[in-house]
Structure 1
Amino acid sequence: MKYTILHVDDEKEIVKLLKMYLKSEELELLEAYDGQEALEIFSKNKIDLMIVDVMMPKIDGFELIRTIRKESNIPILVISARVEASDRIFGLELGADDYLVKPFDPHEAIARVKSLLRRYHELGVSKEKFHSLLAVGDLNLNTHSCIATVSGESIELTAVEFRVLKLMMEQPGRVFTKEQIYEHGWQDSLTGYNNVRVMMSKLREKIGNERIRTIRGLGYRLEVANERT
């Protein structure tokens, strides 16, 4: 299957560079040079993954991610010159799936793109084949429609959050290490364990802080309803 990538960056040299590498992987590339143009392209095309810069005219990358996440869970890779940890954390909290800092190795960027595509379209939420409903108390997860509900109210999940919540709901009460959560959620072995803390914090906000307990020095577990205090 040939995937379509939307690359949004006002630095045309970077877009041109990645286009060369993406073509060698038989990936189709659509180009945008500001956030507004990206939204227009997104509304008219089937996009499988987005590469997003942060500092752009008209609509910046963070606002673009926030807007896209209102209607789509496609993988989003941020590539930005903003190197502060607070910027990376903010981008991930908004719903980005990965964050790469400029200057970057094009080969690493392509590896991350391929990994995100594989996780989402081949191993992730878009390929669930069988209807299945997981329930832990009043927390429910339909693994076919990828819809989570808390007390009957739907909540939006990113692809990573979906995979991690599914993992924990399949074995409530079990402690999962950061390594296990990272490898299952992001489905690669790149060292990005700091991303786990950010993602778990965001997931707690969505399903309720009391549902996920941090086990100091070990990891996290999903609390069984009658064990929550």
Structure 2
Amino acid sequence: MSHTKVLVADDDPNVCEIIRLYFAKQQIDLVVASDGRQALELVEKESPDMIILDVMMPQMDGFEACREIRKRWDTPIIMLTAKDEEFDRVLGLELGADDYVTKPFSPRELVARIRAILRRMQPREKVEEDAARLLTFDQLSIDLDKREVIAAGEKISFRPKEFDLLVHLAKSPGSVFSREQLLEQIWGFDYFGDIRTIDVHIKKIRQRLSKLPYECIHTVWGIGYKFEVDK
């Protein structure tokens, strides 16, 4: 975990000090911000490998900071919240956060989640068994090598996990995958977060493909999701 730089934005100095002491033992470089606005400035200046945002902060809260960061950067984000409420968890994911940790938390768990997310962000070296590197479905094309999606003649920007999830479904048209299966295949066994992250990512994919004249991601009630072009 050497040479990893993590930005923590939290207005509680005690929380920051606990994180600092534990991170030092793990060879993690820590950059601290006391509010959301300062966090935005430090993301620009420091280019951290990971961002940890407390939800409740002065000047700019964690949700707004997450929204602003996602306009410019794909840096992984973990939200810290004192509330164990589904609304906060889902809102954070919808704004682009990769995971969340509920206060009070164990520094060891926080580091484990950081490591898990950074592992998932590494490029996959797995050789694709199928020769097809371009998936085409009428007005939708997915280029696996360029990691590009063209929908209704327009190039659509996807975040890494959204793209991976779309490709996984599109490679098996008509096959139904449960949320658990998708989490295992895309996020891996070491994912700590909420299973609802699948629903949030599916919602994002549907929004990005909204210009298509047909649906291609279908909900199979009580089970999960499938890819099928429904003209």
TM range (shorter): 0.7 to 0.9
Partner secondary structure for residue 214 of structure 1 = strand
> 2:47: which partner in 1?
46
Q: Distance in 1 between matches of 2:13 and 2:145?
A: 40
Give ranges in structure 2 of 5+ residues lacking alignment: none
Contact 1:9 1:52 in 2 (8 A): yes
The one-letter code sitting in structure 1 at the alignment partner of 2:202 is M
What are the Cα deviations for residues 37-68 of structure 1, in whole angstroms up to 9, with x where unaligned?
Answer: 11111112222111111111112111111111
| Residue number in structure 2 paired with 1:197 | 199
Moved more, 140-149 or 205-214: 140-149
Q: Out of 191-200 and 2-11, give the one that drifted further.
A: 191-200
- Is 1:214 matched with 2:216? no
Task: Verify the 8 A CA contact 1:136 1:169 in the aligned structure 2.
Answer: no
Correspondence 1:173 to 2:174: yes
Q: Which moved more, 1:60-69 or 1:211-220?
A: 211-220
Q: Normalising to structure 1: TM-score of the pair?
A: 0.86
Cα separation, 2, equivalents of 1:212 and 1:75: 25
How many residues matched?
223
Once the two structures are superposed, what CA deviation does each residue of 1:16-38 show, in whole Å capped at 9, x if it has no partner? 21222222222221111111111
The answer to whether the 8 Å contact 1:163/1:184 transfers is no
Instruction: State the partner residue of 1:37.
Output: 38
- For residues 59-109 of structure 1, give each alpha carbon's deviation from its aligned partner in whole angstroms, at most 9, with x where no partner exists: 211111111111222211111113321111111001101111111122211
Partner residue, 1:158: 159
Residue 215 of structure 2 aligns to a residue in which SS?
Answer: helix
CA distance in 2 between partners of 1:146 and 1:77 (Å): 24
| Residues 100, 193 of structure 2: 8 Å contact kept | no
CA distance in structure 1 between the aligned counterparts of 2:155 and 2:71, rounded to whole angstroms: 13
Letter in 2 for 1:67: E
Deviation at 1:173, TM superposition (A): 2.4
Residue 135 of structure 2 is matched in structure 1 by 134
Quote the offset at 1:169 in angstroms.
Answer: 2.4
Equivalent position amino acid for 1:192 in 2? D
Query: In structure 1, what is the equivalent of residue 121 of structure 2?
Result: 120
Residue 187 of structure 1 and its aligned partner are, at CA, apart by 2.0
1:8–1:32: 8 Å Cα contact kept in structure 2?
Answer: yes
Using a 3 Å threshold, how does the CA distance of structure 1 residues 110 and 147 change in structure 2: closer, same or farther? same
CA distance in 2, matches of 1:30, 1:203: 33
Moved more, 7-16 or 21-30: 21-30
Larger Rg, first or second structure (1 or 2): 2
Query: Judging changes above 3 Å, is the alpha-carbon distance between structure 1 residues 33 and 161 closer, same or farther for their aligned structure 2 residues?
Result: same
Quote the offset at 1:133 in angstroms: 3.9
**Helix, strand or coil at the partner of 1:211:** strand
**Cα drift, residue 198 of structure 1:** 2.3
Match of 1:93 in 2: 94
2:61 match: 60
Q: Which segments of 5 or more consecutive residues in structure 1 lack a partner in the other structure?
A: none
Tell me the TM-score normalised to structure 2 length: 0.85
1:71 to 2:76 alignment: no
Name whichever of 30-39 and 204-213 sits farther off. 204-213
SS of 2:11's equivalent in the other structure is coil
Using the alignment, how far apart are the partners of 1:161 and 1:64 within structure 2? 21
Comparing 40-49 with 167-176, greater Cα deviation is found at: 167-176
Query: Displacement of 1:201 after TM fit?
Result: 2.0
Structure 1 partner of 2:8: 7
Contact conserved, 1:128 with 1:144, CA < 8 A, in 2?
no
Is the CA contact (8 Å cut-off) linking 1:161 and 1:185 kept in structure 2?
A: no
